[in-house]
Amino acid sequence: MFQFYSQPNRIRILDVMAIFVCSFWLCDSVFAQAQSGVVISQIYGAGGNSGAIYRNDFIELFNRGSSAVDLKGWAVHYSSSTGSNWQKTELSGSIAPGKRMLIQQASGGANGAVLPAADIIGSISLASTAGKVVLTSTATSIAAGTVCPSGPAVVDLVGYGTNANCFEGSGPAPAPGSSNGVLRGGDGCVDFNNNTSDFITGTPVPRNSSLPAAQCRTAGAKLEIISSEIIDDDTDGCTQPGELLTVNVVLKNTGSKSQADNQGAELTVWLAPLLAAQVNSCSSGGKGRCFINSSTEVQWNGKADPDETVTISFQAGVSDPGNQQADLCLQINLGYDSNSDGSNESKVSSKLCPAPLCLPAGPGIITPPQSESGDQKSGSLLIYPIYSSRSTDRARENTRISITNIDPQRQSTVRIFFVGAKTASINDAFISLSPAQTAAFLASDFDPDVTGFIIAVSVDRQTGLPVGFNSLIGDVYLRLATGHSANLPAEACAAVSGWPLRNDQNAGSVELKFDGIQYNRMPTELAADYLALSSAENSSMLIVNRIGGDLGSELLPVGRLNVIFHSDAEKASGFEINSLERQVFAKFDSGLLTSAGGLAGELPESRYGWARIRHDSGGAITGAIINHNPGSTGNFTALNHGRNLHRLTFASATGLKFPVRPPG
């Protein structure tokens, strides 16, 4: 499109003068091109006559442009081949790109087939062999005495028949007859503003707006990029220095003529300096020649017939940028011969970019995987201390569970086991995490009306086998109907070595070993550093989970816990907790104790202490404590809080039997 930057006032004055001198229709000038894209595509004037193939005359419009056109206020006009009096049919509606509008006109009799449902109905009787049809962007009638209308409102004009005295270009369109009509070439797409060359005669095919859109081809060749992609096989969501990328560009000739193998490249791809095209990696499926000019330039030379596709593929290596902002994009340039003169004068450019560079590790030293399990690190296996919910009153009692993949590059698949404390039931689900993604869900949506704890294990997304993926963290926010609430982090166990556990997923199960070799060791002795006996003014909930058994059927019960309590008065007292459930979840009061009253006398209601909790047979345990004090709003010393139990000593070797099944 040309833009004029000088003498704008002069241009406006000339336009205004043209309107007044020409009186809109009377200016004798070159006919306006169909700037809107809408053209007259068919004319049939023998409707109903003897030998007619259709019962009504019709005019068909076609939108060969790229955007919809509103025809409200437009009209088609008709005059005899040498006449100066005009009839019109006003239009309405919109015509989309590639769509048509069928305008039915008068009938000369009962001969011929009925037209398809017309979009517009008029009453003009068109001559079968010669006449003049004009499409205007105004519904104003053409003034009587006008032989050949012109001006900015004329969108398209067709004079047909040898004696037509008004037409576009060098002469009128050829004369039709009773069994044929005037048809615009290229199925309505050809428009050189010359009726003689733009139209032919042939069997008319009236088409209305209900038909699918048609696509106009260019007169010559037209290469287009149908698709382009960069494939990164590691699927980590970012581009790693040192890896190979595969670049695919698919071209198609959507023009009406063949693209010849002209001088110069039909395709050139320029690579960013950080990328290096690999020698001998370029291919084009045997079509033309694909070659690497340099590490930053790839070219293809070849021919392509109409509708033919060519796929060009090559590989590019990624260098270390040394910073985060390095450009990785490719510039794709196309050249093709749109006017069939033997040179690629038409140019098209596009940009193609891979995923951004992977973020490097931050400053400092990460927690080593050999460090013992805990809630201040990431790992491949997470243990959430508690979850609980109610299906009928979810607002009063529920748990929000979150899990995060902190790896900025790799995806993760996690299998989550919901372990019921009282029922010994185990439900499971899989979740997939993109790099650096957090997922959160409610316990009531997965395992309602159950209290227990959760074990989440990183697995292979194809086989379901446990894998080493030390980038998982998580937590729970718990709200109980009793008023207790807390945000508790998940305990993380890192995978240390020995991966993969087994290549045969058909074995049914594998053993997860918490021995410091496969996974971190698990605690067998815990500490609660602030305990107050539950009373009317205070309520402390003790949680202890037993880690062991078979995740495919049933975990081991808690069994016997040995507890030594140390009061703030520097007195110690021992007792036991025995449980056949998988989780101890109870108020810390005298009802919890097996030695009658032993602790109650040592811990006044207003005092506090701390406790050691050790598994009697050296089994793995985790736990937490949650305190709720209804008077906390009026007493600054009465606090609501929750925290995980401290880990004092670790079991030398414990394990879990893990049932293997693929995700999905």
DSSP 128-179: SS-EEEEEESS-PPPPTT-SS--STTEEEEEEESTT-S--STTSPBPP--SS
Residues 30, 651: Cα–Cα separation, whole Å = 97
404-418, 536-550, 581-595, 597-611, range with the lowest pLDDT: 597-611
At 523, list the tokens: 């605690």
Report, as an integer, the average pLDDT of 177-184: 94
At 167, list the tokens: 């037409």
Smallest CA-to-CA distance from 134 within 108, 161, 121, 153 is with 153
Report, as an integer, the average pLDDT of 174-203: 92
Smallest CA-to-CA distance from 461 within 383, 405, 531, 387 is with 405
209 CB contacts (<8 Å, ≥6 apart)?
93, 95, 99, 100, 101, 102, 119
Report, as an integer, the average pLDDT of 308-313: 96
Beta partners for residue 346, in sequence order: 336
The pLDDT value given to residue 594 = 46
Report, as an integer, the average pLDDT of 70-91: 97
The pLDDT value given to residue 12 = 28
The pLDDT value given to residue 82 = 96
Smallest CA-to-CA distance from 546 within 465, 651, 469, 470 is with 651
Chain mean pLDDT for the chain? 85
11-20, 75-84, 149-158, 562-571, range with the lowest pLDDT: 11-20
Distances (CA, A) of 511 to 391, 552, 555, 557, 657: 34, 11, 13, 19, 5
Beta partners for residue 459, in sequence order: 413, 466
**Residue 495 DSSP code:** B
> pLDDT for 97-118, tens place per residue?
999 999 999 999 999 999 999 9
The pLDDT value given to residue 357 = 79
Delineate the domains of the chain, giving CATH numbers in brackets.
26-202 (2.60.40.1260), 223-352 (2.60.40.740), 381-514 (2.60.290.11), 523-658 (2.60.290)
Smallest CA-to-CA distance from 430 within 418, 446, 413 is with 413
637 pLDDT tier (thresholds 50, 70, 90): low
Assign 276 to helix, strand or coil: strand
508 pLDDT tier (thresholds 50, 70, 90): confident
> pLDDT for 204-253, tens place per residue?
999 999 999 998 876 678 888 999 999 987 666 678 777 889 999 999 98
At 549, list the tokens: 């058994």
Which residue in this structure is represented by tokens 């560009």? 249
The pLDDT value given to residue 21 = 30
Report, as an integer, the average pLDDT of 521-550: 86
The pLDDT value given to residue 240 = 78
> pLDDT for 551-594, tens place per residue?
999 999 999 999 888 877 777 878 888 899 999 998 877 666 54
pTM of the predicted model as reported, rounded to 2 decimal places: 0.50
